[in-house]
């Protein structure tokens, strides 16, 4: 099952700056071979369901291993069976309207 997702990880208990933690996660998602796009409030992730969620788990594990005591993430994820869709398809549909 293919999923298009958007992940926002919020490290708690490491102070106000969380950019170091965001970079750790970006590297994990890239290394997982997933198509990603980092934006101002999260990261788009596209790929096979199991690989996407395995990478999300790896992000939590890596941040805790790096000393982050608590993490609160929010994620959107969409699946569909009516047709195949990529993020590029989404943008193309918006441009037509």
Least distance (Å) from its own copies to the CB of residue 72?
5
Report strand pairing: 42-48 vs 35-39: antiparallel
Shorter beta-carbon distance to its own copies: residue 10 or 31: 10
The residues that bridge with 55 in the sheet, in sequence order, are none
Query: Would you tell me which residues interact with its own copies (CB under 8 A)?
Result: 1, 4-6, 8, 10, 12-13, 15-20, 22-23, 26, 37-42, 44, 46, 49-50, 53, 57, 60-61, 64, 69-82, 87, 90-91, 93-94, 96-97
* Residue 38 near residue 69, CB atoms below 8 Å: no
């Amino acid at each position: 099952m293919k999923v298009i997702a958007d992940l926002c990880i919020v490290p708690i208990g490491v102070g106000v700056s969380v950019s170091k933690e965001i970079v750790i996660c970006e590297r994990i998602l890239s290394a997982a071979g997933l198509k990603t796009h980092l934006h101002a409030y999260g990261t788009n992730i596209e790929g096979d369901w199991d690989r996407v969620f395995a990478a999300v788990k790896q992000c939590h594990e890596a941040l805790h291993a790096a000393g982050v005591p608590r993490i609160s993430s929010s994620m959107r994820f969409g699946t569909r069976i009516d047709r195949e869709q990529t993020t590029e398809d989404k943008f193309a549909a918006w441009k037509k309207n």
